Structure 1
Amino acid sequence: MTVKRSRPSGTHHGDLRNALEQAALALVAEKGAHGFTLAEACRRAGVSVAAPYKHFADRDALLVSLALKGYEKQRRRYRSALAAHTEPVEQLAAFAAAYVRFAIEERALFAITFLAGLDKIRHPELAEAGSLLHDDLTPVTGQITGDAESALDLLVKVAAAAHGLALFHQQDMLPGDRSSPDWAEDQAARAARALAAHYTLS
């Protein structure tokens, strides 16, 4: 006698939320943050098209859930990078390198967190998650600049440099031997040190 195994459905899937999130991550990796529908995520997860609404009101809600996980993964990485050094300039350089490494190793999460165009007014939890990252980093830049306004300016400049290098790497815009992850990380760290030096000398 053959026992027929039923396909997972929206009502019987053991871990529906995680299955949908993993399906969305895979689709973003293949098509980009704007290149898939909720119905496609359902098909990839092997559930009915009605299943997501038990957990997610719409496609953006699914992406928001993943973006929050992205922020949390970044925060853990950045805290680890900061903890590896005691001197603030080197802490800032380690953060910049970790930013690029996250973009390379967590490409789909990076795209969802920063490139999906999610509405932070509609989803204020995203802005709050981003603020937590600032809260970890501005004390470091504050030790370099000596005042809160300049500390934020320095952080924005370092993050912008790291973000640009991350995107250049992702889009294969770095030529030849400069296309390696190690080179991009090293340049992000060098940029952070150079920017910090400007504030130190001024």
Structure 2
Amino acid sequence: MGGKYHHGDLRGELVRVSLDLIAEQGFAGFSVAQVAKRAKVSPGAPYRHFPTRESLLAEVAAHIACQLADRVASAAAEHNDPADALAAAAGAYTRYLIERRAGMNVIYANGLQGPQYAELHDQTRRLTDQFLMLCLTVAPDPLTALELMEQLFTQAHGYGTFHLDGVFVKHGYSVDLVVRKSTEAARMAITGRTAGGGR
């Protein structure tokens, strides 16, 4: 065995390895056995910290939601105009998804909805609240803000997924171009929702 075990923070190492594994192989490549192998510990070692696959995945997903929330906040803070800030936040989501192969697909994975995963739910709420507050600054009413948030998350995830699936790669798009296109699409969605009174 060996590896990181003797560093004294196997729990943190398992989360870090899980994030890297998902970034390299996608969510489909995630398994406790693969995480243990990469962490250079026995197959049973992770279960001393995480009794189930879902409990490990929930902690990983909480980290993803936290990192995304930080990215969104940082991207939005670079703009004074509320619409530009919101569009930049959508672009930041797309870039994170491309870089880490993780976003709402992991945060809302099957089996992670239970009350025992309070930290994941808190971090997810932090992420969605940030987006919603940005939407409320441009939308004419709360319902439109909610619908706009849903649309922007869907678009941002879609742009990232198209790149990860090789669709944009075939067109020769760089990551920066995909992020720019995602940001521009978000700006158009924002304009459409706000200029048209929400619909």
TM (norm. structure 1) is: 0.83
**Alignment partner of 2:39 out of 36, 41, 45:** 45
Partner-residue secondary structure (3-state), 1:146: coil
**Alignment partner of 2:114 out of 121, 127, 133:** 121
Give, in whole Å, the separation in 1 of the partners of 2:120 and 2:5: 29
Question: Which deviates the most, 112-121 or 57-66?
Answer: 112-121
Aligned length: 194
**Alignment partner of 2:62 out of 68, 71, 82:** 68
**Alignment partner of 2:100 out of 85, 106, 111:** 106
Kindly provide the amino acid, as one letter, of the partner of residue 80 in structure 2: T
Which position in structure 2 is the counterpart of 1:148?
Answer: 142
Kindly provide the amino acid, as one letter, of the partner of residue 176 in structure 1: H
> Per-residue deviation at 1:12?
4.8
Which position in structure 2 is the counterpart of 1:195?
Answer: 189
Which position in structure 2 is the counterpart of 1:96?
Answer: 90
**Alignment partner of 1:20 out of 14, 22, 28:** 14
CA displacement 1:40-83 (0-9 Å, x = unmatched): 32222122233212210112211111110111111111101111
Determine what percentage of the aligned residue pairs are the same residue.
Answer: 33
> Per-residue deviation at 1:115?
7.2
> Per-residue deviation at 1:34?
3.4
Give, in whole Å, the separation in 2 of the partners of 1:10 and 1:144: 47
Name stretches of at least 5 consecutive residues in structure 2 with no aligned partner: none
Maintained 8 Å contact 1:13/1:47? no
Supply the RMSD in Å over aligned alpha carbons: 2.4
**2:80 aligned with 1:86, yes or no?**
yes
Kindly provide the amino acid, as one letter, of the partner of residue 171 in structure 2: G
Instruction: Please tell me whether Structure 1 or Structure 2 has the larger radius of gyration of its CA atoms.
Output: 1
Maintained 8 Å contact 2:4/2:13? no
> Per-residue deviation at 1:39?
2.8
Give, in whole Å, the separation in 1 of the partners of 2:194 and 2:38: 52
Give, in whole Å, the separation in 1 of the partners of 2:48 and 2:3: 12
Question: Which deviates the most, 67-76 or 127-136?
Answer: 127-136
Maintained 8 Å contact 1:71/1:113? no
Which position in structure 2 is the counterpart of 1:3?
Answer: none
Give, in whole Å, the separation in 2 of the partners of 1:119 and 1:9: 29
**Alignment partner of 1:176 out of 171, 179, 187:** 171
Summarize the Cα distance change of 1:27–1:145 in structure 2 as closer, same or farther, 3 Å threshold: closer
> Per-residue deviation at 1:159?
1.2
